[in-house]
Amino acid sequence: MSFTRRRLPHWVPDGAIVFVTWRLAGSWRKADDQKRSSALPCLLNPEIAGIVADTIQYGETKESYDLFAWVIMPDHVHMIIQPKVPLAGIMRWLKGRTARQANRLLRQTGAPFWQEESFDHWIRTEEEFSDLETYVENNPVKRGLVESPEKWLWSSRSSTPGIRHCSASSPACPAATPSFPRDSAGSAPCAGSTPGSARPSATAALPCACRSC
């Protein structure tokens, strides 16, 4: 199990599958005027999107994680992975490698490229995995960028040659089969449970196999 804390706590049990999101620096939507920063177009640059896509896929070949789904949006990235090394190290490597290459391309070496924080969520059930996989790969459709997920160039559902399809449901990646950590009774851990306890917290909302849910 790994646990780190910056502005957000990051608790990832061993063997967990996680949904991860990270954003361009300065790209949070502002509550007052709903505008986004000038950093928005960066990930629409095909060269920069290609750097991020190549790095995400390379991370699996170097055996840092199993990769199930991913998408590069105009101002943020989603992926679903099963880490084989601590998640904090994976994110430092992903964000550091892509930021250096992107900044060189933009001739702004040393400038912030990604936000320092990332969001991660431990996926506890097969149903939740399926829902999040669909969410990730359909995100460009939901944003009105394309009519079908296969038409978005930068995702695990892309029909573009050279983009490796790594969805759990894809026959092109038969090894990408999700497995979920089990407690000593053989059930998936409760959503919202605390380390060392099979009981859910008061804020638990997701279904689980524990009798106490």
pLDDT for position 42: 79
Residues 73, 8 contacting (CB under 8 angstroms): no
pLDDT for position 182: 54
pLDDT for position 164: 52
Residues 15, 124 contacting (CB under 8 angstroms): no
Written as tens digits, the pLDDT of the chain (213 aa) is: 444 444 555 567 788 999 999 999 987 654 444 444 444 457 989 999 999 999 999 999 989 999 999 999 999 999 999 999 999 999 999 999 999 999 999 888 778 899 998 999 999 999 999 999 999 999 999 999 999 999 999 999 997 755 554 544 444 444 456 766 654 444 444 333 333 333 223 223 322 222 222
Gap between the Cα atoms of 187 and 174, Å rounded: 25
Q: What are phi and psi of 17, to 5 degrees?
A: -100, 135
pTM: 0.71
Report CA torsion sign: 114, 48, 98, 144: positive
CA atoms within 13 A on the CB side of 75: 14
Class in CATH terms, 2-151: alpha beta
Q: Per residue, what are the HEC states of 32-77?
A: CCCCCCCCHHHHHCHHHHHHHHHHHHHHHHCCCEEEEEEEECCCEE
Domain borders along the chain are: 2-151, 182-213
Task: Tell me, rounded to whole angstroms, the distance of Cα 201 from its chain centroid.
Answer: 24
Termini Cα distance of the chain: 23
Residues 53, 146 contacting (CB under 8 angstroms): no
Calculate ∠ Cα 73-94-59, nearest 5°.
100
Q: For residue 85, which amino acid is it?
A: V
